[in-house]
Amino acid sequence: MTNPLFYAKIILFGEYGMIEDSQGLVVPYSFYKGTLKFSDENSDSEFEKKSNEHLIKYANFLEKLNLPEKFKLDVNRFKEDISHRLFFDSNIPQGYGVGSSGALVAAIFEKYSFQKYSPESISKDDLKNIKAVFGEMESYFHGKSSGMDPLICYMNLPILIENKENLDKVAIPKGEEGKGAIFLIDSGITGETGPMIQIFFEKMKTEGFRKTLKEEFIRYNNACIDSFLKKDMNPFFRNLKKLSHWAYEHFRPMIPESIFNIWKKGLDSNAYYLKLCGSGGGGYILGFTKDYEKAEKMLEGFQKEVIYRF
């Protein structure tokens, strides 16, 4: 029996803002995926061996977690499988903001939770509770986790985060072959979530930053989500430019150096707008354009992947 695949995720909107109660919009990304597998007895793969060793350490961490009764894991069965060469087979790049640890947490919960859930029929309350459980499970990797990454990987559905307390499944407008696109740019370096979040919390200690985050970032961010879901592209790009400009001014330490110039170029030319994908510091950057052909020419030399057309 093969185990299910768990896809990567992309935070389209809400990075950092979700910590301060902004809305968020997160979508699965099937280009990257991971699944639990057993190594072949004759395999001498270094990747499989390392993954198996990581799972041993992770199982020890999970054993100490005190999860609610409804969401408990069969850690003994997990450890038994690890002793039979279980590993996580994944092509999700680490440190790229697309949920490598989230997919692993989702895969383990799906396979080893005593009580089984069906993503299609999960209630809004259970969704909230599972997100909290995932936050505890993922804290092993990042120190502090909202649980959002594993939730998206587990549900494999777009999720709208309304605020800290409420989230729900949402329908994304169907992509179509138009000139416009949402795309990823590879910054060429990996990022680490922990240090980036640390920088954010340091910034939050200053009143001026807190004020502009609440009054400007969250307003532009929520307006982008609202107009994107309604497929209302003029106000969408208007607010997106403000959001991109705000990030250029205030998230400077999170923007990889290789991206500075092209970020500004997009703002100056209005040919495309960039924003962070996840915590920043490296990995992918998100791009939005009304004319992908034009943007692609301007971004020559950078590796790009289109994730949505309109």
Residues with Cβ within 8 Å of residue 188, at least 6 apart in sequence: 256, 258, 303
Residues 28, 9 contacting (CB under 8 angstroms) = yes
Residues with Cβ within 8 Å of residue 183, at least 6 apart in sequence: 286, 287, 288, 289, 292, 295, 304, 305, 306, 307
pTM for this predicted structure? 0.85
pLDDT of residue 135: 93
3-state secondary structure of 96: coil
Q: Of 155, 154, 173, whose CA–CA distance to 109 is shortest?
A: 154
Q: Which two tokens mark 168?
A: 């729900």
CA distance 26 to 81: 32
Q: Which residues of the chain have pLDDT under 70?
A: 1-2
Q: Residue 64: how many CB atoms within 10 A of its CB? A: 7
Number of alpha carbons in the 13 Å side-chain half-sphere of residue 239? 19
Largest CA distance in the chain: 60
The 10s digit of each residue's pLDDT in 157-177 is 899 999 877 888 898 888 778
The 10s digit of each residue's pLDDT in 87-123 is 999 999 888 888 789 999 999 999 999 999 988 788 8
pLDDT of residue 2: 66
Q: Residue 143: how many CB atoms within 10 A of its CB? A: 11
